[in-house]
Amino acid sequence: MINFAALGMREASIDQKHHSQKNHSRSIKPYIASSVAGTAVGIAAAIWLTHLSPLTTHHVTVPLNSAATTPPVPLEGLFDLPKLMTAQDPGQRWAIVGGALLQAGLTRLSIPVLGRAIENDPNNSVLHVALGEALTLTDGGLISDRAKAEFEFALRADPNDLVARFYMGHWLLQNGKPKPALVKWVGLMRTVGSDRTWYARLWTAMPVAAQEVGVSQLALQALCTAAM
């Protein structure tokens, strides 16, 4: 004989257990979402802390030692993201997002975004240089034909563009022309070497070219000191 009372109690127990598990699943979802968000923020912070800021997003805060050269206009980046809330120009929105990705070290992701920014503002030299830098950093420092074209665009508009000149020095070095590369970089040292970021970046590049042309480290330091 079937005990319907016992069966009913068993089904009620199962329903209660299922309901409890469902509520527990719902209650844990916010904690999972919070944990994922926290992890993402942690990763972004780690990238930011360990990544050296690109030159196109760097703010030069020291006087330049050249009357013919103006400080480079920095590309908007991570600290400009709140401007997305009020920016009316779609080109500016693309530029901010592209600059933020570039500054965060996500160079490959920044390339199509900067391309969209250029579509909206094709004569903006800052965007062209930023795209060239993003391409170069994505390629491990190699200046591709596409990156070179972006730097040359900027130099046609302003032959004294500091960032474009710096990367064209790399192109010269990569193409077997260490002497003009070194001349270009020593010239940049003369102009903007008192800026700590530029000083560090130039001293990463110059010794390689100096070694290829037979200039000693001591002689290079003398050249740069005389140029400052």
Flag whether 112 is in a domain: yes
DSSP state of 215: -
**Could you give the CA distance from residue 138 to residue 117 in angstroms, rounded to a whole number?**
18
Structural domain for 149, as ranges: 55-227
Lowest mean pLDDT among 11-20, 42-51, 66-75, 152-161: 42-51
**Could you give the CA distance from residue 195 to residue 64 in angstroms, rounded to a whole number?**
9
User: What share of the chain in percent tops pLDDT 90?
Assistant: 58
Return the SS3 of 86. coil
Flag whether 97 is in a domain: yes
User: What is the count of structural domains for the chain?
Assistant: 1
Flag whether 48 is in a domain: no
CATH code, domain carrying 145: 1.25.40.10
Query: In this structure, what are the phi and psi dihedrals at residue 65, rounded to the nearest 5 degrees?
Result: -90, 45
Flag whether 49 is in a domain: no
> Does 84 or 161 have the greater pLDDT score?
161
Flag whether 3 is in a domain: no
Each residue's pLDDT tens digit, 115-162: 999 999 999 999 999 999 999 999 999 999 999 999 999 999 999 999
